[in-house]
Amino acid sequence: MPKQSQSDLLKKVRQIDIKSRKVVTELLGGEYKSVFKGRGMEFDEVREYMPGDEVRTIDWNVTARTGKTFVKRFIEEREQALFFLVDMSASGIFGSAGKSKNEVAAELCGLLAFSAIKNSDKVGLIIFTDEVELFIAPDKGQIHVLHIIRAILAFEPRGKGTCIACALDYLGKMVKNKCVTFLISDFQDSEYEKQLKLAAIHYDLIAISVTDPRELELPNAGLVELTDAESGEQILVDTASTTARKNFNIAAQARRLELKALLSRLNIDQIDVRTDRDYVHDLVRFFQSRDRRQTL
């Protein structure tokens, strides 16, 4: 992400903070809690039996000792960890619709992180390029979430490439307990299926693919020099050619379908996000769809 002044950085952090709080309060807070359950139920207290209580919750020891019927009350053991694996490779700098893919990633993390802490969950972060470059241990609280958002927005990567396998391997070494993990990337990488499969077994893994519209369809703009941000490779494309634009579109759609097929094969949920549309509705649709599947 291009270097920015402290005032611009703080302004962006504040904007994400305000938007996230509003969206979490109005849309995502309850959806998050219903989809990502806690680790189980833990005993809270006993109270006197009331009509409608389930017979199986009766505490027979207390009932026998007091001569009155008492039931056990349980509450959800809510606390769990949510991890973000954020791809900050050079291709994330691109953005033709007002925001770069990296900026959208930061906003997504903000929304999901505020949803997590609203429900007493911890939040952690791993930033990667062609290697893991930053690890922030999971913690609670608003200050911690703002620290994570700022870390993403201000991050200046050393590497340009993408190594999803490296990030997943690192997650496996650092995080032993089951957690909710959002892998946020444009998935311009290969040879990570093995690590993806293992991560899906050990964690509740959700893939968020971030795409810019210009990566799917070229405008008719004559001769254009296209540069691969990660490899530096350059090619000259005649975008006035209908055939060239069609071939570009076919190749882009093939990559999207290949990713979708891979995630489906491994039973990994995918949220498809674009820089030119409101991703809040994409998140809400995902939560609602997953909630319906869990209640079937």
Structure tokens, 180: 């909710």
Average the pLDDT over 86-95 and give the result. 90
226 or 76, higher pLDDT: 226
Residue 290, pLDDT > 70, answer yes
pLDDT at 109: 92
Contacts of 35 (CB under 8 A, 6+ apart): 287, 290, 291, 294
pLDDT at 228: 77
**Torsion region of 52: left, alpha or beta (phi above 0 gives left; psi -120 to 50 gives alpha):** left
Residue 128: which of 98, 105, 108, 111 has the closest Cα? Answer: 105
Q: Are strands 132-139 and 180-185 parallel, antiparallel or unpaired?
A: unpaired
Average pLDDT taken over every residue of the chain? 86
| Dist CA 130 CA 125 (whole Å) | 16
Phi and psi, residue 98, nearest 5°:
105, -25
| Placement of tokens 């899906």 in the chain | 200
For 93-152, write each residue's pLDDT tens digit: 887 778 889 999 989 998 899 888 888 889 999 999 999 999 999 999 989 999 999 999
pLDDT at 98: 80
3 state SS of 214? helix
| Placement of tokens 């700022």 in the chain | 150
Q: Are 208 and 108 in contact (CB under 8 A)?
A: yes
pLDDT at 296: 60
For 11-25, write each residue's pLDDT tens digit: 888 888 888 878 877
For 211-222, write each residue's pLDDT tens digit: 999 888 888 888
Residue 275: which of 230, 205, 209 has the closest Cα? Answer: 209
Hey, which CATH number is domain 6-36+79-295, 3.90.1010.10, 3.50.50.60, 3.40.50.720, 3.40.50.410? 3.40.50.410
pLDDT-above-70 percentage for the chain: 91
Per domain, the residue ranges of the chain are 6-36+79-295, 40-77
pLDDT at 287: 86
